[in-house]
Structure 1
Amino acid sequence: MVISTEPAWGDAVEQFVKEYEDAVVYADMDQETVLHEGRARVLGNGWVELPTGRLLSPDAVHHIDTRTG
């Protein structure tokens, strides 16, 4: 039996990642609770990765608005 050391999904997972250069991550619909401002990555599993390496749960994030400037 041969077992690969490569992940089964390979690079396919990266196709589901969204990166935002300038965004605001909100915890509520009314946009009163800001969880993060700046760069953010939404991973394929719904978690939001911040530049510090911290992850925000999909349950904690209501929505993300992008800013253009």
Structure 2
Amino acid sequence: MVISTESAWDDIADEFAREYRDAVVYADFEQETVLHEGDLRILANGWVELPTGRLLSPDAVHHIDT
């Protein structure tokens, strides 16, 4: 029996990611605190990836206007 040491999740995770252009990420309901404006990618686990490679936690993001 052969068992792979690589995760199967890595192969399909990109299929669940969503990419947006000119989106705005807010940290609050009142839309006063903007965390990011521009392109972004929402990963399958809920984290937001910015073009710089920085990741925003789902706990830090209130909502995203696309």
- Normalising by structure 1, we get a TM-score of 0.84
Aligned to 1:16: 16
In the TM superposition, residue 41 of structure 1 has moved relative to its aligned partner by 0.4
4-13 or 47-56: which moved more?
4-13
Question: Secondary structure in 2 aligned to 1:15?
Answer: helix
Question: Could you tell me the TM-score, scaled by structure 2's length?
Answer: 0.87
Greater displacement, 13-22 / 36-45:
13-22
2:43 is equivalent to residue 43 of structure 1:
yes
Q: 3-state SS of the aligned residue for 2:22?
A: strand
Question: Which sections of structure 1, spanning at least 5 residues, go unmatched?
Answer: none
Question: Residues 10, 57 of structure 1: CA spacing in aligned structure 2 closer, same or farther, 3 A cutoff?
Answer: closer
Deviations 1:9-57 (A, max 9, x none): 2432122111001100000011000000001000000000000000000
User: For the aligned residues, what is the CA RMSD?
Assistant: 1.4
| SS in structure 2 of the partner of residue 12 of structure 1 | helix
Q: Report 1:1-69 matches (<5 A).
A: 2-66=2-66
Q: How high is the sequence identity, in percent, across the aligned residues?
A: 77
Which stretches in structure 2 are left out of the alignment for 5+ residues?
none
